[in-house]
Every structure is written in structure tokens, then in C-alpha cells.
Amino acid sequence: MTEVHSVSSPVRHYVGGGFDASGAPIPLVDPVTGRVAGEVPQASREVVDRAVRAAREALRGTWAVWSPAERSRLLHRIADGIERRFEEFVAAECADTGKPRALASTVDIPRAVANFRSYAELLAGRGERSWHTATPDGRGALNYTIHKPLGVVAVISPWNLPLLLLSWKVAPALATGNTVVAKPSELTPGTACLLAEVLAEAEVPPGVFNLVHGPGADAAGQWLTEHPGVDAVAFTGESRTGSMIMRAAAERLAPVSFELGGKNAGLVFDDADLEQAVAGTLRSAFTHSGQVCLCTERLYVQRPVFDAFAAALATGAKELSGYGPMVSAAHRDKVLGHLERAATDGDVLAGGGVPRFGDERDGGFWVEPTVLAGLPEDHPAVRDEIFGPVVHLAPFDTEDEALALANAGPYGLAATVWTGDVSRAHRVAPALEVGTAWVNTWNLRDLRTPFGGVKASGIGREGGDHSLDFFSEPMNVCVKL
């Protein structure tokens, strides 16, 4: 049975080193049962202004003279603090999102720890470059490059992986000496509040990290991204929201880093290990009930193995247990709307409805793991990002056809390739119009590698030196000898 959780601590803003619960409350609803489990305060424009001012003042305080080694040790202390309060973070993550404990305790919280540790280590090993330059008088010059923080960074994180994606941006932003004003989703604020407590315990100077809560449009999110005191914006979320943030940032030429939506494709060739491909697709389509930006929503299977693969995947989907609900009633209704139309226009091989448990979970926001087939490529269920436990299957004949299908559409975040032919793997994977292509696996991450999307799936790259480069400004110093 899926665990039922409740919010155990109050949700508060964190501004200038102090906690603040002011603002009209928004109910926090447990996705598992549909019951109100707490509330989150909406930041007023004044609270957002105070947060940005506190971040600006901290840039001129003691934080400005912290060395990279000191910042590296700070990130390790933050990671230590998360580990000490591991069970609290797991409980808050599950309460906010409804995800099973097995997922939060093995992916979300450990990855947040890894985010802080990896950037601590990268920062400790980061050096500067220098060049000896010839001059006409023969005495020469020395050029060297330093990296300076961008300033006040707005970090906007989504509801699906609240702590993981928040820490993925906060860690490199702090590593490079910036100050941060973070706004998590108003649906999932719990772990962000715990993180603020951990940062306070780790003795982060007041104003270096600030946290405000509330919705996006005409609220904290919009006021923050439009604020003239914000020097850069790092955002993960919907492509449409990214476009609005980009327009706001363009007014003051503020740099942006976006990881946006996806309608990720998978390719299964007839030489693949089908058992491995089915097991991998069950993970890539249904992890966190499909509420992961990297999940596979479109799967193209070579015709000779299509029927066998479709039958095995449908059977696997029907047998899945331990999955979680949609994050909200509104999101559940969106997913079910897609499924209702798909059932009319195509074939439902598995799922397609709402599971019944006979207990309090029947009040929650559940959708069955669903396998669809028989829809045209321009159908909304094939074209639009659903962000739920839904995958559509279609056959293909040739490698060129498979690539054309996978590369169609406005998105380009990630893709999977299942094949036993190593030459084909090296031909197909680079030809995919995505930021990440996995071959015979899914979501296997090395935090040093570049991560991001192309087309409507994002701007820029995160991970390793790529994040450190985004959150800092290189400056050249030339000294005549």
C-alpha cells in the first residue's frame, strides 16, 4: 500500500536569515488522499522585494570575500545537514508529491546530497587560466582570467522533483559566489523549507539564500523574475512559462538557464534485447507516474517485434504496483482528458482510467499506468506533453523512418535507443535532436556531464563545469610587464 503522509512542520519564507510566515495561505493537499494537509503562505510583493534586497546586500557583505575553498566547505556542510535530517526530507518529499518512500529515499534526497557534494568538489579543483603575451618592447604582458558571480540569482523550481531540482541550481549558484532568491512550486514547498533550515544551521551568511512561496502568474514567481534587482534566472518547468520568463529577463538583458518540457521518444530496434527494452521502458515511462521531464511518452518499435513488445509492455504496465498519484486534482484531470480522447481515437492496451483501492486513497489523484497505440502522429496524445503515466506505441520499418519520427515535433530533451548493434547505436544516438540520448538504459546520470534540451526543451546546459560557467562571469585581467 502507498504511504499516506502529512505535513509535519510549518511552511515559511526565509528572508535575510529569518523565517517569516506572513501572507494569505494556500491549502496544501495530500495527493495520495486528496485531503488538506497544511498550508503555504503567499509572499506579497513586499516580501519578494525584501528577499531581493537581502540578497543584494549580502553580495556586499562578508560573503563577497569568501574564498572558493570556504564555499566548497560550506557546500559539504549543507550536504552533511541534509544527511543528518534524511528522514525528515524523505517525509516532506512524500507528503508534498505523493511519491512512494522507496523513490524519494533512493533518488530525490540522495541526489540532493550528491548535488552539493559534486559542486563542492568541482569548485575545489577549479583553476584559472593565464597567458604570457608578447609585446613590441619585448617585456611582455600577463593575461589571466578570473570568474566573478553574476549577482542575485532567481531560482524557480518545479513540483515534480522539488528538492533534487532546487539543489541542482542552488549548489552551483552558491559555489560561484552568487546570492539566491528561490521560489519552489506552491504545491511542493516542504523540502525547500527544510533546506533553508539546513543552510541556516550551516552558517550561510544572512541574505545569501532566501526563500519565497506562492504561485507564478501575478504572484511571487512573476514578481521575482521581473524584478530589476535580479541579475539572472535559472528555471525548470513548462516551455510556455519559460517563454514568459525569457521576455521578462530580456527587458534587462539578464541571462537565463532553462530546462523546459519534453515529449521524449524511445526507439526499439528488432535486434534489441526485448526483455531489457521492456523493463527499461517500464522505468522510463512510469517512474514517478510519468511526472519526470525525462520520461518516455512516445515509443517507436521496429515492425517485426512490435506486437510482441506491445503485448509485453502492456502486461508489465498492468502488473505495476507501488506507483504514486498525480500531484494535484488539476493535473490528474488534464491527464485523464488526454486519455478520454485517446480512447475514442485509438487503442488502449493497458490502463486508461483511475484505479480503485477501497480505502482513503480513492480520494486522491490517481491515474493507471497507460499504454496507448493506433493514434496518428498529429494526435494531441502523441504531440503534446502529458506528463503522466502514459506512453504511446507506434511501429516503424527503417532506421531513417525511426529518426524522422523521433525528431518530429517542437521538443528535444531526451531519448532512448534500444539496440544490440553497436554501430547502429553510434549512428542513431548522435542523430537524435535532443540534449541527452541513452542507449540500452535510461536516466543514467553522471553529474559532470552537460544536461539540457534543444528546441522548445531549453536553453543552456547544466551539470559540472557547465553550471559553474553559467553562474559566473569570466573577466580578463591584463598586466603589462
Q: Environment class of residue 347 by beta-carbon count within 10 Å: exposed (0-12), middle (13-18) or buried (19+)?
A: middle
Which element (helix H / strand E) includes 114?
helix 109-124
CA distance 335 to 314: 19
DSSP characters for 73-87? Answer: HHHHHHHHHHHHTHH
Helix intervals (H) in 254-398: 274-286, 303-319, 329-345, 380-383
Given the DSSP bridges, would you call strands 18-20 and 13-15 parallel, antiparallel or unpaired?
A: antiparallel
- Tell me which of 93, 226, 259, 462 is the catalytic residue: 259
The strand order across the sheet containing 152-156 reads: 18-20, 13-15, 209-211, 179-183, 152-156, 232-236, 256-259, 458-459
Take residue 5 and report the three cell numbers written for it.
Answer: 503522509
Q: Which residues contact 52 (CB under 8 A, 6 or more apart)?
A: 152, 181, 210, 224, 227, 229, 230
- Tell me which of 93, 94, 193, 293 is the catalytic residue: 293
Take residue 334 and report the three cell numbers written for it.
Answer: 488534464
Return the C-alpha torsion angle 206, 210, 213, 214, nearest 10: 130
Candidates 104, 94, 111, 161; CA nearest to 387 is 161
Q: Does residue 259 have an active-site annotation?
A: yes
Take residue 127 and report the three cell numbers written for it.
Answer: 583553476
Return the C-alpha torsion angle 290, 295, 301, 307, nearest 10: -20
Question: In this structure, what are the phi and psi dihedrals at residue 46, rounded to the nearest 5 degrees?
Answer: -65, -40
Active site members: 259, 293
